[in-house]
Structure formats: structure tokens, C-alpha cells
Structure 1
Amino acid sequence: MISEVKRSAEHKMQKSLEAFKADLAKVRTGRAHTGLLDHVMVDYYGSEVPVNQVANVTLIDARTIGVQPWEKPMLAKVEKAIRDSDLGLNPAAMGDIIRVPMPMLTEERRKDLIKVVRGEAEDARVAVRNVRRDANNEFKNLLKDKSITEDEERRGQDEIQKLTDKYTAEIDKALAVKENELLAV
């Protein structure tokens, strides 16, 4: 029983860490990459879909992303979605392709990106702590049903706390690496 709860909690914490690392990869550090636009959502006939589901996203050069919508009427919507995203990008439509130049990162923009990254790290920590809370509630329910003893419950909670500390430290480590990347000129 306890090992199942622990295994489930560890799996969920690992998923939270992976999601955080995926979010970190989307935060730009000066170079253009197509993954940057993955979370930009476009209004596609009444439903919100990622930009890469309505357009080809390619690299034109090291500092420019090209976005070519599959349908002509989507050009303006895709351009607006990129402009309104929290990425601070200024797309320009040229014919049937949208050019998204990557501006040089100013010191102020670097600090803003660090704030964004820290917010995402805090969200990841909260997700890990929510998994801990759910696991501890499961232990309490097992104790209430007399499936486990009080000592087993306490031992299980201690193991879950160690997992929480481990994954929180991993999140902090990934955050520190990304902050250093952002601060490097």
C-alpha cells in the first residue's frame, strides 16, 4: 500500500519536473528556436490551438523565425497571437509568411525573463507540494480504514517529504542554470 502511494507520488513529481524543464526550454536566451512559439495559442474558427497546428514554423536564420499559415485568412490571427503573447516579440507579415525577428536581450528584458522563469519555478514547486499533500491525505485515509498503522503512516509521510525535498532541489537547480544562461551576455 505505502509503496504504491510513494511510487505514484514520485511519478507525478517527476512529471511536474519534466513539465517545468519543458517550460524553461521555451524561454529564449537570445537565439531563435521554433519551440519558442509552441505555447502561443491562435483562435482557429472558435477554438484555441497552438500556432504549430495552423502554420509551419521554421528558422529563417539564427535570429529570425518564419511562420507560414496553411490558410491565408489565418495570417492576421497568427500575427496577432504572436504579438499578444508574453514573449515580447514583434512579428511582421511579408506576403504569405510572418517574420518574427528576435531582438537582442536588453538588461531589463533579461530581468523580466528571470521573473517569468522564477514564477514558473514556483508553479512547479507548488505542483510538487500538491502531490505531497495528496499522498499524505491518502496515508490518512488508509490509517482511517485501518489498512496501515500510525507508524507506517508516519514513515510514509517522511518518505514523501524526502521525495518532495529532492524534486524541489532539482527544480531549484534547473532554475539556477536557466538564470545563469539568461544573465550571460
Structure 2
Amino acid sequence: MERAEIISDAEDRMKKASTHLHDQLQGLRTGRATPGLIDSIRVNVYGSPTPLKQCANISVPEPQQIVIKPYDPSVISAIVKAIQASDTGLSPNPESRLIRLNVPPLSTERRKQLVGRVKELAEEARISIRNIRRDANKHADNSQKDKVLSEDECNDVKDEIQELTKKFEGQVNETASAKETEVMEE
């Protein structure tokens, strides 16, 4: 692999790992209502599992409430079933053309559990980034053996990969820290 290819591939993969963490943390309940809590729920409509956000408008009119307004009111019962089957712990209140979800405040014990979960997810992301670094370093070594890169170029590539690793681990730490703060706020 060429120098630019190795670095570009590593950067893309590290960016995906960081984005994946961000997406996972969106669905983590914090006691405050956000559409991210239910975005990933799949509803069985028209014979196939469909993401909730594709079959309904999701809004947050109040800090403790989520309102789901299906584009087709005939799917309300399917949405209610999907929410009840999910692990969000929210109880849907169906009305004529919409569904209300009240988000109860979290207990201190539950908040501490969620902070632990945030730390686990952040560590998984950091491990993923380090594995990407390892793979990129192997590619650099193989390119040196294949005479595509000189020894100095190989070392430069490894230094750039290390800088990328630091950058993305920093992003992961910032994201996790922000989410921990959000979870612990009352």
C-alpha cells in the first residue's frame, strides 16, 4: 500500500469508530427526552422492520416528553409494540393520531450504572482505534518489506498514524466525558 492509502484508510476507520461511539451514546437515556432515545427502534410495518424515524415524526415538546406522530396513523399499534419490546424502559401512551412517551427522572443509582456503561463504550471505541493503528502499522511494515516505502517513510507513516490515534482517542474521551456529565446532571 502507498503511504497516502495507509494513512487515509486508518483515518477513515478511526473516524467511523468515533462516530459509532457517538451514535451509541445518543441512545443512552439520561432522564432528559431526546429523539436519539428511540431513533434506533425498528417497527414492523408493511412486512419489514423499518427504523422508527422513517415511519414517524419524532419531536420533543417538553424536556420530559417525546411525541411520535406516524405518517400513517394505521401503524400506531405496531409502533407501540416496538417501543414496548425495546430495552428503553419507556411506556408508550397512544392517542388518536400520536404516541406520547414520558421520560421519568433517573435515580442516582441508575445514573451511576449509566456512567459505567458510557465508560465501557468509550473503552471499546479506544480499543477499536488502537486495533486500527496496529493494522495500519502492519501495512506500513509490509510496504517497507515490499520496497514500496523506505525505512524513513515507514517511520513517518507510523508517526502520522500515532498522531491520528491520539486525535481520535481525544475525541472519544471528550465525547464520553460530555455524556457522563449529562447523565449525572439532575
Question: Any idea what the Cα deviations from partners look like across 1:72-117, whole Å, max 9, x if unmatched?
Answer: 4422221122223232211122233211001011112212322332
Q: What's the counterpart of residue 183 of structure 1? A: 184
Q: What's the counterpart of residue 62 of structure 2? A: 61
- Long gaps (5+) in structure 1: none
Q: What's the counterpart of residue 78 of structure 2? A: 77
Alpha-carbon distance between aligned partners in 2 of 1:72 and 1:62, rounded to the nearest angstrom: 25
Q: What's the counterpart of residue 126 of structure 2? A: 125
- Structure 1 residue 53: deviation in Å? 0.8
Alpha-carbon distance between aligned partners in 2 of 1:78 and 1:124, rounded to the nearest angstrom: 31
Alpha-carbon distance between aligned partners in 1 of 2:179 and 2:57, rounded to the nearest angstrom: 28
- Report the TM-score when normalising by structure 2: 0.83
Alpha-carbon distance between aligned partners in 1 of 2:121 and 2:49, rounded to the nearest angstrom: 22
- Report the TM-score when normalising by structure 1: 0.83
Q: What's the counterpart of residue 159 of structure 1? A: 160
Question: Any idea what the Cα deviations from partners look like across 1:4-53, whole Å, max 9, x if unmatched?
Answer: 42233223323332332343344343221223221112223343221011
Q: What's the counterpart of residue 100 of structure 1? A: 101
- Structure 1 residue 135: deviation in Å? 1.5
Greater Cα shift, 156-165 or 46-55: 156-165
Q: What's the counterpart of residue 135 of structure 2? A: 134
Alpha-carbon distance between aligned partners in 2 of 1:94 and 1:112, rounded to the nearest angstrom: 33
Q: What's the counterpart of residue 49 of structure 1? A: 50
Alpha-carbon distance between aligned partners in 2 of 1:33 and 1:57, rounded to the nearest angstrom: 9
Cα distance change on mapping 1:94 and 1:169 into 2, 3 Å: same
Alpha-carbon distance between aligned partners in 2 of 1:44 and 1:136, rounded to the nearest angstrom: 46
SS at match of 2:120: helix
Question: Any idea what the Cα deviations from partners look like across 1:138-182, whole Å, max 9, x if unmatched?
Answer: 213312321113443244223312321331132122212211221
Query: Where has structure 1 moved over 6 Å in runs of 4 or more?
Result: none
Cα distance change on mapping 1:174 and 1:79 into 2, 3 Å: same
The letter for the 2-side match of 1:183 is M
Q: What's the counterpart of residue 25 of structure 2? A: 24
Alpha-carbon distance between aligned partners in 1 of 2:83 and 2:102, rounded to the nearest angstrom: 12
Alpha-carbon distance between aligned partners in 1 of 2:112 and 2:145, rounded to the nearest angstrom: 49
Q: What's the counterpart of residue 86 of structure 1? A: 87
Q: What's the C-alpha RMSD, in Å, of the aligned pairs?
A: 2.3
- Long gaps (5+) in structure 2: none
Alignment size in residue pairs: 185
Alpha-carbon distance between aligned partners in 2 of 1:111 and 1:84, rounded to the nearest angstrom: 25
The letter for the 2-side match of 1:106 is S
Greater Cα shift, 98-107 or 61-70: 61-70
Greater Cα shift, 45-54 or 125-134: 125-134
Greater Cα shift, 73-82 or 3-12: 3-12
Sequence identity percentage: 38
Cα distance change on mapping 1:120 and 1:48 into 2, 3 Å: farther
